[in-house]
Structure 1
């Protein structure tokens, strides 16, 4: 299992209120909202509290319990028993994944106005039998903003540090990484259109924006915890396939900016109401 797969919410069914993210993605969004964001990574949450919250976003109790067990087995959560109750907290791996997602959401954002003209290129040649390694590499490259310029040559805007995950995959000897600028004869707009599916990326932003604009006039609603949990999960699902292409080379009506503004406005509406409600609902203990 790779870190980029943990928050993958693709191929999920739509419901009346939008796409239904995977229970694991919602679970990690829950811990991101109510453990990581509270600044206490060593906090453990009672399983009954987790069930109460995830039921609000359409995940039944059996699915919550099986997801908790599966995430413990995969090294994403750890257990702590106190009396007759079982509590769950984050492992270092899950904390790393959540910090990565937090950076993507709150620091980098979806709009790239400050591109410096540089590109990161990665070339690779793997044996035909290495299907799993090829899949893992391509998936990690996609998560990191890369697109396939050619079959064995991938490119991403900016200076992207990918040596770490290449080493984790054991592919350092099979990969060459370069940082460069395009020649003046290169049509960057054409290259971008040929390398990334702009229509699909734009459609995800438009869909998100339409769905969540409706919430702006309703305040935090009766269930700020559930609203915020779904909001963050859907936004991460939206931006995870966006390489943050330079704004200057995108169509003038590129929808990432208005979608991001909608996300941040709804997030601002729900932050404090969700935090106050969480303090009332969640039974927590220190990890140790």
Structure 2
């Protein structure tokens, strides 16, 4: 859903008819019930705003959703799949929360993982480069329980060893290999390139959001993210030409200011 919104609603000042969303998602075998449930849930979470025009219901983006989609756009098109600009610095986050605050500890770990951190040892998470985690920590109300600082590794610790300890590089590489296997020959069973475009972007965004963006110098020379990114960009460019006309015919929308 986020990828659909990013491709066809983001930065357009429009709201889309719920029936159109249902029709589009039917192309990728998502049921009407699941689409309606997702739209309702995203509205209740402040990601979508509901508009009415006659008897029809349209959904537009809220500022919160716009921020989420802008972050996705940055991760996909600006950051790249491999970090080639690492300065040797690590950001370290240390924390200690008692067992009675297990839920808060889980939320912090989840947010840190989302931000590109991995656990190097109990209560100590690291990420390559300089990261501002102020919003994460303060948003969870844990400023008094967390210590954040930047540092560089020193002998006998090696940077590559830190990366392997904090991040499952084997699993990360396997996810990129799975992407290559799936998209070298796009699925002919899908009805059209709009369906392929939606799944392509969903698969790729899922990959880059799980990728801690490790420095290239710490990775194997044949790191599969490089080839996977080239394949994604080539297909994404192709689908701009072939899927956009299909989407234009399938999606009914109105200017947000008109509803």
Q: TM-score, normalised by structure 1?
A: 0.85
Q: Does structure 1 residue 101 correspond to structure 2 residue 72?
A: yes
What does residue 45 of structure 2 align with? 74
- 1:170-185 alignment, distance < 5 Å: 170-185=141-156
Q: d(CA) in 2 for partners of 1:154 and 1:49? A: 43
What does residue 177 of structure 2 align with? 206
SS at structure 2 position matched to 1:244: coil
What does residue 163 of structure 1 align with? 134
What does residue 245 of structure 1 align with? 214
SS at structure 1 position matched to 2:127: strand
SS at structure 1 position matched to 2:25: helix
Stretches of 4+ aligned residues off by more than 3 angstroms: none
SS at structure 1 position matched to 2:9: helix
Q: d(CA) in 2 for partners of 1:63 and 1:120? A: 40
1:222 CA drift (Å):
5.8
What does residue 263 of structure 1 align with? 232
Instruction: Name the Cα RMSD after superposition.
Output: 1.6
1:280 CA drift (Å):
2.1
Aligned residues: 256
What does residue 5 of structure 2 align with? 31
1:114 CA drift (Å):
1.4
CA contact (8 A) 1:44 1:285 kept: yes
1:228 CA drift (Å):
0.9
Gaps of 5+ in 2: none
Gaps of 5+ in 1: 1-26
SS at structure 1 position matched to 2:82: coil
SS at structure 2 position matched to 1:170: coil
1:184 CA drift (Å):
4.5
The one-character-per-residue Cα deviations of 1:15-58 (angstroms, maximum 9, x if unpaired) are xxxxxxxxxxxx1111111011xx32x31000111011111111
